[in-house]
Structure 1
Amino acid sequence: MKSPHTRIPEGGLLRMCITLLLFSVPGLAQVTFTAAPEDLQLYPRDAQNKALVVISGKLARKNYTRAILEVSEEKKLIRTLTADFSATDSVSFDFRQEITAQPAEYDFKVILQDKNEKKETVLTREGIVCGDFIILYGQSNIKALVGIDDMEKQTDTRLLRNYDTPDPGKPEAMKWYRAHQPYASVGVVGLHLQSLILARYGIPTCVLNGSVGGANLVSLINPDETHTRTDSYYGRLYSRVKKAGALGKVRAIIWRQGEAETCNWYRDIEDYPFHFEQLYGQISRDYKGYTRFYNIQTGILYCNQMEEAGQLREYMRSTRYRFDNIETTNMHALPLSDDVHYTLEGYKKAAEELLPLLGRDIYGGKDNAEVHPPDIQKILITPSRDTLILVFEEDQKMVYPEARTVNGFTWKMEDYFYVNTTTAYTDDIVVKGRADRNRVYLSLKWGINDGYVTYLPSYSAFNPPVQEAHLTNSRGLRAMSFYKIPVTDALQRPEIVSAKAITDNRTQLVFREKDTYILEKRAGEGQDFRVLATLSGADRYEDALASPLAGTLEYRVKRMSEKSESEYSPVARITGAPVLSEAPDTRGMVFPNPFGTEDVFIRTARKVEAITAIARDGREIPLTFSRTGTEEYAIGTQKLEAGPYILSVKTPGGYQVFKTVKL
């Protein structure tokens, strides 16, 4: 036989879903298939966004001269492969066909042809897709069955997959399904997440949801390291993953669990770190190759009013720093349907907030600013001892909520910071809060020397639980709750003692002392500060501008150490004006102005050497350009976002500056 493709790579790209299939065609052919896909199977994509489908078999009789494989994409024939048989005792075929991870189903048909060119179909497989495996594990809030009937009605599952059995007692009955079957297997969060991934990134997925309502952490740990038992929750999930061909191919594991411990007793919470480390070790070994483990922090519950519940949520928050490959998020403030579970809209929102995290980590998402909920990094006390500074990640833009009244109750954020106290003993020490970039400032009624701060109550005073006041970032994601984070003395506030322009396109800043600083810059009030440089052992800095200083630049610094940092220095301002070292070119202009998606041109009598767009936040963006006429240049502005810009045009005699706006 002539093989149409080279052999499969060592170890195989895919699990052979059917290792031995015997098809008897009455009176004619008897074919033994040694590899073939199953209907609706999902093949995991590789780094090239492809997967290899193998269809091979042997014939018991030699009255056929050719095997034919027809490959269809979305019911349209895209390729035909043939294998001719020689007159030998061993008559076999081995077809290999790549498929692409895209919004498409593939069908395969194997046809045998005899010497009289009579054809007979001996295998048909339909609905094959290429994409990603995602595991959901935990208890009922990731099983997410509230509203499942409506969710299934809302979702087109043609390209979404599940691999399961209708009867957990019959693991041998596992097979491939579209994601709405078996009933309630995938759940609302999983089903909506699959739909979002397909819509945003065009990748089909298979979600394997092994979650169990009411399960505590201990019951979800694998009791059998040999993986021969399927009577445990972990064993059943592992068996599904293995039979689906997903071992080593899972892209993400999403975990939500902890209500069982919160609603039981404090010993379960004390033991939680030990058991979580045990479970995570098993998952890390058994599912090597997954991209990220997403740990969803439990909510604020009414069920068992223990202070230790805040301690449990703090441990969950900290797993991001304790273990490799863990990312954290939360479902705080999402609407509830009862005292523990969320509404359909709440579960859908959880999936929508997971999507940007998976997009950043797996799908090459570009919009990655603030996709993670704000997470506390340190808490500082100023030298006056009456102001706390909550420091979150550098890229967060914190939002402090105004007080608001809901159903006659006024929610004030100040009431949900616990300084050296617990949920049961509030003392109204926080009188006012405000946010500035990645920091939240809390003014205290009286000073403190040291201690700790907790954000959000350990339990809710309302049943069903409700918490309407939350710190958020500019994307609207609620901050991770934290518990008893120690207060550290802030470093001495720095000072910029000199700020001036030393040339047309260079400024100089001088600090009072040598130290480690983070220097930030913006182009005037109303804009965001952006990190310009991190300095070590420095007492000055020179900022080389891409073009002559036009307008006002503002700078500020903060001291940094391993465990602390300072308040920001007072803002230093440097004001300049557009500079031309030659007489103005009265023929210079930019058109059209303002502009949208059309081509943009500059007309100038001078030779252009470089063009830079200066955004209103101070960013300097080099632009491409090409000469289109004697005194005309076309500018590439595709990378510019909508907004006002200064175009700085460098020429042999100096600079020209134009104001323009992209619509």
Structure 2
Amino acid sequence: MPETNLIARYFPFFLFLISASSFSQVNLTHFPEDMQLFTRNDSDTAFVSVSGELQSDEYSQAVVKLYEEKKLFSTYPKTISQEQNFDFSIPIRAQMKEYAFELWLYNGADSVLIKRAEKVICGDAFILYGQSNAVSYAQYWVLNDSISKKFTRNYIHYFSETHENDGWHDGTYPEIGTLGKRFCLDYTRKLKIPILIINGAVGGVSLSYLMHREESDPESLNTTYGLLLKRTLKSSVDRIRGFIFFQGESEANASAEAVKEYPLLFDLFKQNVEKDFPSIDRFYVFQVGIMNSHALWEAAELREYKRSLSTLYNNISVIPATGIVWWDYDGLHYSFKGYNILAERLFDSFLAFEKGKEKDHTPDLKKLVDEKVKHRLKLIFNQEVYVPDSVDFGYYVNYMKHHFYAGRDWGFIDSLETVGNSIYLYYNRLPSNQLTYLPGFYVDPMGRPYGGPFIRNLTGTPALTFYNVAIEDQLPNPVIDSSYYLSGLIHFDINNTPVLDCHNCTLEVSQLTSNGQIPLASFNSNTTSVDFREADYNSLNETSTLVFKYVNQVSESDQVIIGIGGKSVKDTDFDAIPDGVDNCPLTSNPGQTDFDKDGLGDACDDDDDDDGIADADDNCLLRKNPEQPELLIEDGYLVTSNIPGKQYHWVVNGAYSETTNDNLYIVRNTGEYAVYITDELGCESKTSEPLQVSILAIERDFEIEVYPVPFSDRLNFKTDMAVSKAELIGMSGKIMKSFNLQNGQSYISTKSLLAGSYIFRLIDAKGKPVLSQKVTKSE
């Protein structure tokens, strides 16, 4: 055998001998692993440890080489002698870059590579735990094409003895799930920070199962908790940016006792997690959705406990899991789109906390006040909110007023209105002194779960549901006995008799301007006089208007508006807003609501949401309806809308034809075609301008049968005529599969095709389409 062939044959063995010899000279205690993620500190830096002990006096220097994106970035040398320890702490930055580490030993000109680690990154670590909605396997593979394999990580440690897949993997690993993968996608794209997610969720299990912990061995692989802890500790991360917890459906389906035990179990679970796991910045807990099968009314009580977590603990953010329509939520699990929506809320909640704006992220009820004189309840939220009167699903109309409960009683609310951060519920009676928003469980006339309406903020995030919240009496209004203005001094005398017994009450004073209210000062409710000097307030002068209001933690009074020095204040529409600052001076608009921020109050604005659809014709008054679509034609017989929607309502020759969920309509006859679309809340666009389509009808005296419907891995067709080609066209009009047919072939294989709707087209030997039919592939 030629010498060169011998070298080639045994070269790997020579490398093995060199590597084995090198390792025998060093006992390494710390060295990064391939693909390892190191967690960043508050300075966006991680320190990577390389340490060990030299076993030979052959080498006198240890050198760590750091590579950034495969280019040598820095070199760290250290002089050593036999049996001497060496320890390096190498800083790396949290950025969208990969690092590599090499440890070399030197003695003069001689050197040997001891070990190398590649694809090391610096970023943030998250844990995802809970039951099936945390597992979230709905079409998770769809995200694999867009998720970054380079800058996302998962760490595996299995129950099995072989552990052959243990260690580091990228974020396309299946068990991260749809929720976790979408969170990874947002994190890397929007923050430009690498991310690790360890998902230890298990479907269909209770909190007691997930929290079960062996006291003598918390890392025991005999428990789900121990496995999650083992994986986390073996990954060597020293900081968990967020512990994401999505669980509670089991208890909501179990018993009232399971719901009542939940708070004690959760508190113990949280204590153990904080004791066993690396430092956790914050917990992100999902408030479960409204289920529609085998659920309990006490499920609402469980949601209320979840709502209270941000008050009970200073390191928990609560994320709503409601507000998703029934076609993306089946009453227990969510669709691919549903999990994407939840992941977006999770990311937004994380970002809000990071920016110090967590209180502004999710709408949450803060006060519930009974204004008895006006026969209405005032629901005060932590931010501006909006709620539609109803949602029309076609087969029934669901009204918001029907989903406020006293106990399980409903129907006592006649109407509602939204003013800024308050919702007013006008009642005909009050069955109790407690109020619940949204039912414990719900089944609509078609057996579907609750799909709306929902209270939302102006960005669409739904409010947390609440249960049996105490209704508080309204506080007495401030009484101003007298006032005067003298040489820049503004003085008010206050009669404090009505609030002598008011618990923890304060008097808030603000200035009313055309841009809203400017807070000036707060006083104890026992105050009998207040003074303001113009010199202390840039905006105050003798023509200013002040607003007085008593507040405490659970209630508040009406606002009392006073002109300085007892001067009269003109209020043409009697809405307690002076004409000089009223955005609807001739029409009562007490909350000064201005949804589209155009300076014209909603009460006198013909188009409150500024979407081009007049309020009189707008089925979503305070939500922008979709834009008016334009129709496009493809291949002479496929009509598409240029604006995406949830549903497409097709009009043929001026008359309604049908509604589809697909952005595609097959034209069968010459005529005039139009469409209007609706979004996920049922908000309608204007109807498109009509499009005249001429099509040459296909004359044929044969039948074509396509089956089964829906199909799975094979689609069959039966025809007596000769066909040469079959195509499956996606709803975007793109050809997804094309098949050249053999003589007599009567089926096509569709195993690699994703579930969904398609157009099945058959083409004859002359290249002429002879069939275009909509078909659906099942899951």
TM range (shorter): 0.7 to 0.9
Aligned to 1:108: 101
1:592-611, Cα deviation, whole Å (9 max, x unpaired):
xxxxxxxxxxxxxxxxxxxx
Do the aligned residues in 2 keep the contact of 1:310 with 1:458 (CA within 8 Å)? yes
- 1:49 aligns to 2:31 (yes or no): no
Do the aligned residues in 2 keep the contact of 1:23 with 1:32 (CA within 8 Å)? no
Q: Label 1:571 to 1:476 Cα distance change in 2 as closer, same or farther (>3 A).
A: farther
Do the aligned residues in 2 keep the contact of 1:550 with 1:575 (CA within 8 Å)? no
Secondary structure, in 3 states, of the residue corresponding to 1:280? Answer: helix
Q: In structure 2, how many angstroms separate the alpha carbons of the residues matched to 1:496 and 1:23?
A: 94
Q: Label 1:332 to 1:543 Cα distance change in 2 as closer, same or farther (>3 A).
A: farther
- 1:403 aligns to 2:380 (yes or no): no
Aligned to 2:427: 444
- 1:568 aligns to 2:559 (yes or no): yes
Moved more, 89-98 or 471-480: 89-98
The answer to which structure, 1 or 2, has the higher relative contact order (CA under 8 A, 6+ apart) is: 1
Secondary structure, in 3 states, of the residue corresponding to 2:330? Answer: coil
Note the C-alpha offset of 1:453: 0.8
Note the C-alpha offset of 1:92: 5.4
Q: Label 1:123 to 1:369 Cα distance change in 2 as closer, same or farther (>3 A).
A: same
Aligned to 1:236: 227
The CA RMSD measured in Å over matched residues stands at 3.2
Secondary structure, in 3 states, of the residue corresponding to 2:225? Answer: helix
Note the C-alpha offset of 1:125: 0.6
- 1:374 aligns to 2:363 (yes or no): yes
- Output aligned runs, 1:240-319, within 5 Å: 240-246=231-237, 249-287=239-277, 289-319=279-309
Q: 1:143 aligns with which of 135, 153, 163?
A: 135
- Output aligned runs, 1:113-512, within 5 Å: 113-115=106-108, 117-165=109-157, 174-181=166-173, 184-226=174-216, 227-246=218-237, 249-287=239-277, 289-335=279-325, 336-361=328-353, 363=354, 365=355, 370-371=360-361, 373-384=362-373, 386-393=375-382, 396-418=383-405, 420-422=406-408, 425-426=409-410, 428-446=411-429, 448=430, 451-462=433-444, 463-495=447-479, 511-512=494-495
Aligned to 1:25: 19
- 1:35 aligns to 2:30 (yes or no): yes
Q: Label 1:489 to 1:209 Cα distance change in 2 as closer, same or farther (>3 A).
A: same
Do the aligned residues in 1 keep the contact of 2:158 with 2:227 (CA within 8 Å)? no
Q: Label 1:402 to 1:562 Cα distance change in 2 as closer, same or farther (>3 A).
A: closer
The AA in structure 2 aligned to 1:122 is I
The AA in structure 1 aligned to 2:393 is V
The AA in structure 1 aligned to 2:223 is S
Q: In structure 2, how many angstroms separate the alpha carbons of the residues matched to 1:548 and 1:570?
A: 17
Aligned to 2:68: 73
Do the aligned residues in 1 keep the contact of 2:146 with 2:185 (CA within 8 Å)? no
Do the aligned residues in 2 keep the contact of 1:450 with 1:488 (CA within 8 Å)? no
Q: In structure 2, how many angstroms separate the alpha carbons of the residues matched to 1:283 and 1:416?
A: 37
Q: Label 1:547 to 1:271 Cα distance change in 2 as closer, same or farther (>3 A).
A: closer
Secondary structure, in 3 states, of the residue corresponding to 1:212? Answer: coil
Note the C-alpha offset of 1:454: 0.7
Note the C-alpha offset of 1:458: 1.1
The AA in structure 2 aligned to 1:408 is Y
Q: Label 1:552 to 1:352 Cα distance change in 2 as closer, same or farther (>3 A).
A: farther
Secondary structure, in 3 states, of the residue corresponding to 1:185? Answer: helix
Moved more, 466-475 or 33-42: 466-475
Do the aligned residues in 1 keep the contact of 2:159 with 2:227 (CA within 8 Å)? no
Q: Label 1:228 to 1:414 Cα distance change in 2 as closer, same or farther (>3 A).
A: closer
Note the C-alpha offset of 1:464: 3.4
Q: In structure 2, how many angstroms separate the alpha carbons of the residues matched to 1:148 and 1:133?
A: 20
Secondary structure, in 3 states, of the residue corresponding to 1:384? Answer: helix
Aligned to 2:610: none
Aligned to 1:556: 547
Q: In structure 1, how many angstroms separate the alpha carbons of the residues matched to 2:161 and 2:414?
A: 58
Amino-acid identity (%) = 26
Q: In structure 2, how many angstroms separate the alpha carbons of the residues matched to 1:222 and 1:119?
A: 52
Note the C-alpha offset of 1:170: 5.1
Q: Label 1:573 to 1:331 Cα distance change in 2 as closer, same or farther (>3 A).
A: farther
The AA in structure 1 aligned to 2:255 is W
Note the C-alpha offset of 1:52: 1.2
Q: Label 1:192 to 1:276 Cα distance change in 2 as closer, same or farther (>3 A).
A: same
Q: In structure 2, how many angstroms separate the alpha carbons of the residues matched to 1:34 and 1:122?
A: 13
The AA in structure 2 aligned to 1:467 is G
1:218-275, Cα deviation, whole Å (9 max, x unpaired):
101133122152111111111111111235x212111111111222333322322232
The AA in structure 2 aligned to 1:357 is S
Do the aligned residues in 2 keep the contact of 1:554 with 1:574 (CA within 8 Å)? no
Q: In structure 2, how many angstroms separate the alpha carbons of the residues matched to 1:188 and 1:459?
A: 25
Note the C-alpha offset of 1:201: 2.9
TM-score using structure 2 length:
0.64
Higher Cα radius of gyration: 2
Q: Label 1:369 to 1:380 Cα distance change in 2 as closer, same or farther (>3 A).
A: closer
Q: Label 1:567 to 1:242 Cα distance change in 2 as closer, same or farther (>3 A).
A: same
How many residue pairs are counted as aligned between the two chains?
541
Note the C-alpha offset of 1:500: 7.4
TM-score using structure 1 length:
0.74
Q: In structure 2, how many angstroms separate the alpha carbons of the residues matched to 1:551 and 1:193?
A: 54
1:435-482, Cα deviation, whole Å (9 max, x unpaired):
223322111123x48521110011111333132111122232211111
The AA in structure 1 aligned to 2:425 is L
Secondary structure, in 3 states, of the residue corresponding to 2:279? Answer: coil
Q: 5+ residue gaps in structure 1?
A: 1-21, 577-615, 618-641, 645-663
The AA in structure 1 aligned to 2:450 is V
Q: Label 1:122 to 1:256 Cα distance change in 2 as closer, same or farther (>3 A).
A: same
Note the C-alpha offset of 1:146: 0.8
Note the C-alpha offset of 1:213: 0.9
Q: Label 1:34 to 1:503 Cα distance change in 2 as closer, same or farther (>3 A).
A: same
Aligned to 2:729: none
Q: In structure 2, how many angstroms separate the alpha carbons of the residues matched to 1:456 and 1:360?
A: 26
- 1:63 aligns to 2:47 (yes or no): no
Note the C-alpha offset of 1:332: 0.7
Note the C-alpha offset of 1:528: 3.8
Do the aligned residues in 1 keep the contact of 2:37 with 2:120 (CA within 8 Å)? yes
Q: In structure 2, how many angstroms separate the alpha carbons of the residues matched to 1:318 and 1:246?
A: 30
Note the C-alpha offset of 1:345: 1.9
Q: In structure 2, how many angstroms separate the alpha carbons of the residues matched to 1:421 and 1:567?
A: 28
Q: In structure 2, how many angstroms separate the alpha carbons of the residues matched to 1:449 and 1:502?
A: 52
Q: In structure 2, how many angstroms separate the alpha carbons of the residues matched to 1:23 and 1:550?
A: 89
1:572-604, Cα deviation, whole Å (9 max, x unpaired):
58999xxxxxxxxxxxxxxxxxxxxxxxxxxxx
The AA in structure 2 aligned to 1:534 is S
Note the C-alpha offset of 1:23: 9.0
